[in-house]
């Protein structure tokens, strides 16, 4: 029996603005072909009364198609197998481009291949995979759409860490279907763990996706070297997705509920190198941030947090406001887009100012310029100072008011501009004193 491994390809030290390694599997939009009341076996979904038991696995391989090296990632939900592969070296722009999807039955697995990055007709089948099994090492064939060209497929399991100790089956009210309907997706109310067909443990849950089936994820959440288990509880406003987490106890070989501090973190990611838990979050349409946590005793505690803000810049005579968002990488939070203080003066990492919004911001409380000193390789930058909006009493066409004196980054220097053209941006009283 093959067991899934923790996916070490998830790079915990890279700065990411998406869910990265887990986002693609949090809610699997799967199609299932004609899976009805099968007799129970590890290979098929089993129906009992008002519930159905759905086999699940997530696996990775390396190997060859013909003489070319490939990396393959697949997940199984019921009798549907889907995922992607890439030709080595697998750069980020092509890792998930070649999509695979098909079915598993008593005769083996057949997968259709599509180039999801094609400029035209991305749904066109570009090849067909056939293999007797994806349980361990894989031997099969790749065939061109017309069947005139075939290549041997040879894959070996990617050994990335300790194996997840059990087979996983979801208990739901029904199977996912191929209608692409979001009206009534399956409701998962338990996870059953099996060892060679013997039920070891049942974990109660309450999970329902928006348009697909929520599927388990494996991560070492307490950094003890053993894979733990997570399941998204709903598809809220991304990235604020709640998760239920269970921690594996290697002594009892059973899973226990994670502490409340971890359960309360939405969309958590895990950095085993620095032993940090981190999350990207969204407070509103216009505020995004990152928070980090560490284990302290038997629970997790917040370490640091940062949120987005509006960085004012001058593009010639045009006033612009750049929306800058923090990211996590190498054990600390930083703003990849920022103003830096160097020995030669100020410099910007913002890129083209024309990508930033034109017009004065109504949210002056979130307008400022943080100036950073770059850190050494692998070290966090240091905040040198913050240039804030000041409120000055001045004459406007609506009379005397307090108007914002805004710092703008202007080609290596800070230039302040008193914005009194629009009295609506000004105030009868000093906001700094309120």
In this predicted model, which residue has the larger pLDDT, 17 or 433?
433
Q: CA–CA separation, 214 vs 29, rounded Å?
A: 9
Residues 327, 290 contacting (CB under 8 angstroms): yes
Distances from the Cα of 332 to the Cα of 49, 73, 303, angstroms: 50, 29, 10
* Pick from 11, 57, 419: nearest CA to 218: 57
Q: Which residues make beta-bridge pairs with 192?
A: 169, 202
Distances from the Cα of 386 to the Cα of 47, 172, 234, angstroms: 62, 53, 39
The per-residue DSSP string of 329-362 comes to ETTEEE-SS-EEEETTEEEE----GGGSEES--S
Mean pLDDT confidence for 58-80: 95
The contacts of residue 301 (CB under 8 Å, 6+ apart) are 261, 293, 294
Residues 3, 164 contacting (CB under 8 angstroms): yes
Rg (CA), the chain: 26
Residue 242 buriedness (CB in 10 A; 0-12 / 13-18 / 19+): middle
pLDDT in the model for residue 45: 61
| 261, containing H or E segment | helix 260-263
Q: Is residue 37's pLDDT more than 60?
A: no
Q: CA–CA separation, 379 vs 257, rounded Å?
A: 35
Residues 362, 425 contacting (CB under 8 angstroms): yes
Chain-centroid distance of CA 199 in Å reads 31
pLDDT tens for residues 292-335?
A: 999 999 999 999 999 999 999 999 999 999 999 999 999 999 99
Percent above pLDDT 70 for the chain: 87
Mean pLDDT for all residues in the chain: 87
pLDDT in the model for residue 359: 80
């Amino acid at each position: 029996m093959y067991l899934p491994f923790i996916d070490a390809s998830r790079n915990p030290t890279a700065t990411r603005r998406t869910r990265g390694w887990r986002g693609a599997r949090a809610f699997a939009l799967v199609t299932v072909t004609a899976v009805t009341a099968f007799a129970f076996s590890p290979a098929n979904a089993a129906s009992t009364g008002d519930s159905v038991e759905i086999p699940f696995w997530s696996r990775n391989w390396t190997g060859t198609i013909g003489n070319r090296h490939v990396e393959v990632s697949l997940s199984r939900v019921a009798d549907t197998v889907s995922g992607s592969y890439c030709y080595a070296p697998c750069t980020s722009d092509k890792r998930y481009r070649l999509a695979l999807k098909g079915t598993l039955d008593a005769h083996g697995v057949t997968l259709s291949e599509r180039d999801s990055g094609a400029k035209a007709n991305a749904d066109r089948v570009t090849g067909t995979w056939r293999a007797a099994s994806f349980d361990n090492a894989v031997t099969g064939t790749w065939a061109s759409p017309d069947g005139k060209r075939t290549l041997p497929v040879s894959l070996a399991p990617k050994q990335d860490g300790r194996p997840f100790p059990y087979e996983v089956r979801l208990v739901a009210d029904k199977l996912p279907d191929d209608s692409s309907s979001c009206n009534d997706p399956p409701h998962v109310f338990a996870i059953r763990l099996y060892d060679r067909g013997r039920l070891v443990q049942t974990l109660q849950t309450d999970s329902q996706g928006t348009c697909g089936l929520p599927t388990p994820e494996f991560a070492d959440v307490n950094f003890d070297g053993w894979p733990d288990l997570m399941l998204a509880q709903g598809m809220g406003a991304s990235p604020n997705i709640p998760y239920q987490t269970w921690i594996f106890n290697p002594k009892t070989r059973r899973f226990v509920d994670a502490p409340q501090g971890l359960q309360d973190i939405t969309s958590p990611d895990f950095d085993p190198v620095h032993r940090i838990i981190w999350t990207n979050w969204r407070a509103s349409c216009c505020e995004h941030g990152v928070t980090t946590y560490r284990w302290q005793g038997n629970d997790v505690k917040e370490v640091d947090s940062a949120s987005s803000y509006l960085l004012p810049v001058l593009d010639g005579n045009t006033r612009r406001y750049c929306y800058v968002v923090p990211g996590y990488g190498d054990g600390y939070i930083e703003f990849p887009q920022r103003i830096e203080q160097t020995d030669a003066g100020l410099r910007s990492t913002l890129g083209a100012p024309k990508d930033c919004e034109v017009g004065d911001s109504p949210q002056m409380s979130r307008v400022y310029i943080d100036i950073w000193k770059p850190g050494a390789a692998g070290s966090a930058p240091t905040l040198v100072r913050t240039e804030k909006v000041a409120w000055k009493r001045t004459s406007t066409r609506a009379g005397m008011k307090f108007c914002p004196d805004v710092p703008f980054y202007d080609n290596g220097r800070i230039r302040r501009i008193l914005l009194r053209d629009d009295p609506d941006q000004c105030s009868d009283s000093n906001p700094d004193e309120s």
